[in-house]
């Protein structure tokens, strides 16, 4: 008997990203809900003299996950895919809030 593997749909990844973000937010965000990327890019900019925005910080994290996936493209890395979806949404949030400036 062959076991069928259920292929996840895009909405499955979106819902999983929502769930993961909510859980990680409880673990890592400030009590008022402030995310850590703004402070992260501020620290990076202070150290390097660069001028990354919050949205660019999320873009960098999304790229890290994409690079990890494509290091071995014959093997699906669900964690990298899920995190890529989450980082894309965080990047969109930062851009919508003016984070590209």
Contact (CB, 8 A) for 13 and 80: no
Predicted pLDDT at 99: 67
Read off φ and ψ for residue 27, nearest 5 degrees.
-80, -40
Sequence-separated (6 or more) residues with CB below 8 Å from residue 43: none
Please give the pLDDT value at position 100.
Answer: 65
Q: Which residues contact 65 (CB under 8 A, 6 or more apart)?
A: 80, 81, 83, 84, 87
Is residue 90 within 8 A of residue 37, CB to CB? The reply is yes
Domain positions in the chain are 54-101
The answer to whether residues 57 and 43 touch, using CB atoms and an 8 Å cutoff, is no
42-86: pLDDT as tens digits: 999 999 999 999 999 999 999 999 999 999 989 999 999 999 999
Interatomic CA distance for residues 8 and 11, integer angstroms? 8
Contact 13, 82 (CB under 8 A): yes
């Amino acid at each position: 008997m062959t076991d069928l593997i259920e292929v996840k749909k895009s909405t499955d990844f979106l819902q999983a990203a929502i769930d993961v973000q909510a859980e990680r937010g409880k673990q890592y965000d400030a009590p008022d809900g402030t995310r850590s990327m703004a402070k992260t890019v501020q620290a990076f900019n202070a150290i390097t003299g660069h001028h990354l925005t919050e949205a660019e910080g999320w873009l960098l994290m999304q790229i890290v996950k994409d690079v990890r996936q494509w290091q071995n493209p014959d093997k699906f890395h669900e964690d990298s895919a899920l995190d890529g979806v989450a980082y894309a949404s965080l990047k969109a949030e930062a851009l919508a809030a003016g984070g590209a400036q």
